[in-house]
Amino acid sequence: MFLPVDMAYYRMMSHRIMHEVFLTITDQFEQVSVDEGYMDVSGALLEWDKPSAIGAWIRQQVAERFNVTCSVGIACNKLVAKMASTNAKPNGMLLIPAARSAQFVQMMPLRGIPGIGPSLEKRLNAWGVHSVAELAQMMKPLSYRPLDRPPRRADCGRPRMVWIHVRSQQPAKRSPSVQNAP
């Protein structure tokens, strides 16, 4: 059975959850979609002690107050927090220690990296790259160009960003990050 989506209600509930739960932890919050956001909880750790305590409290509050589940990824940067949250779905929490970030990212499938879709995955496979670990071992981004066509303006930053992602790095690093997806 399919029910029609009430986007106005969904947005309103999202706004309430973001403001009544997430923003009570920190004002260092970045909402990236109607049901996804990132928090820099480093300032809140004085009160909370551990990021996992914050994540558990967020999940509890969202469930009790709004009757909605959410997944939480905790990591030293947004990329790894996003991937942890995705792996914790549909209703879990996953903490990736900073020292294990690269290992965690490199065990993911190619398509688990932002910027690698079906087309780029196919081209990487044609070059003999079948895992994120293999991709991470490649030299600098300009030494590989798995594109079989001249560069387009839209491609200019993609190889560099993928190269950064597979090393679990992030250009604008904020630490630690908690990724929330109700």
Q: What is the DSSP string of the chain?
A: ------HHHHHHHHHHHHHHTGGGT-S-EEEEETTEEEEE-GGGHHHHSSHHHHHHHHHHHHHHHHS---EEEEESSHHHHHHHHHHHTTS-EEE--GGGHHHHHHTS-GGGSTT--HHHHHHHHHTT--SHHHHHTS-SGGG----SSPPPGGGTTHHHHHHHHHTT--SS--SSEEEEE-
Determine whether 36 is an active site residue: yes
Per-residue pLDDT tens for 149-175? 444 444 445 666 676 677 666 554 444
Which listed residue (20, 30, 36, 64) is catalytic? Answer: 36
pTM: 0.77
Per-residue pLDDT tens for 84-141? 999 999 999 999 999 999 899 989 999 988 778 999 899 888 888 898 888 888 745 5
